[in-house]
Structure 1
Amino acid sequence: MTTTPLFRSARLTGHAPDRRAAPLYADLFGAARGSDRLAADLLDWSRHGVAPWTLFHAGRAVGVAGFRIGFGGEGLELSFHFLPDVAGQGLASEFVQAALDHAITTFREEHFHAEVAPDNAISIRVLEKAGFRPEPDGADPVRMRLVIRRPDRAGAPTRPALSA
């Protein structure tokens, strides 16, 4: 893909959904579900200009992550899916922090939510480090929410402090 990146972090670039990412979607979600997921992302992108990006690291497609408009909930839904061979490099944490900053400044959004399988402790931890908190309903999947506090006196939005 040679499109201009729409999202950047220190090590990741995000590009609009593209049919050429079909092999990545298949690797992440399985053949049938990947095809459906890519079709949904392409449709959301064409309608709203908001859908998960194809993420690249060191010139290689490594994940699909970004936002969906929260039709069923308040704010934007955040999701992130990375290939298993890039696990442990901190890319998910880097992505979530940079994506939230992007959404705050570009979309002017303050409300975020995410859904995570209860056995996905790593993703839950990544979201908690970014300030997300699980809803107390014990649902499966775990529903997590983040509300950005109003801007401080200098006009910068504030988030809960990161923990190690």
Structure 2
Amino acid sequence: MEQTFQSFTVKDSAGRDINLEKYKGQVVLVVNVASKCGFTPQYSGLEELYAKFKDQGFVILGFPCNQFGAQEPGTNDEIQQFCSLNYGVQFPVMGKVDVNGKDEAPVFKWLKESAPGFMGTEFIKWNFTKFLIGKDGKVLKRYAPKDEPKDLIKDIQKALA
């Protein structure tokens, strides 16, 4: 059987298993996030997207990652507090993961294989790389860290239609 986004289980910030099957039929934006990154202000734009589309079957899943310039050094609890206090984040922020290398989270291995980046590279280059997943659990598009959340609105609307 072909793998889809919903084939995976990840850990939430408390270390509990979350079966991504719970997002079946929804449009999901997966973002590897960090608290001390030049792109960290994108949390505001991501939260705006979430607020705008969550009632239409859209969810954002943030995956903190400390692999890029050690920009996510905190514990899962510290990351949750940072997101809530500084950006009012309501969308789920999962447990910290590796997105590249031998310890990469299996869901990120699949995302990168499904939607390679620039010139076919699968490697994630920096925090705030984004993957848009359709209702069928397949990756629709990969976005670079510099792509602002507001620039994804048309693609999200199309995926929700």
From the two aligned structures, give the one with the greater strand fraction.
1
> What TM-score does the superposition give when structure 2 sets the normalisation length?
0.28
Q: Which has the bigger relative contact order, CA under 8 A and spacing at least 6? A: 2
Larger radius of gyration: 1
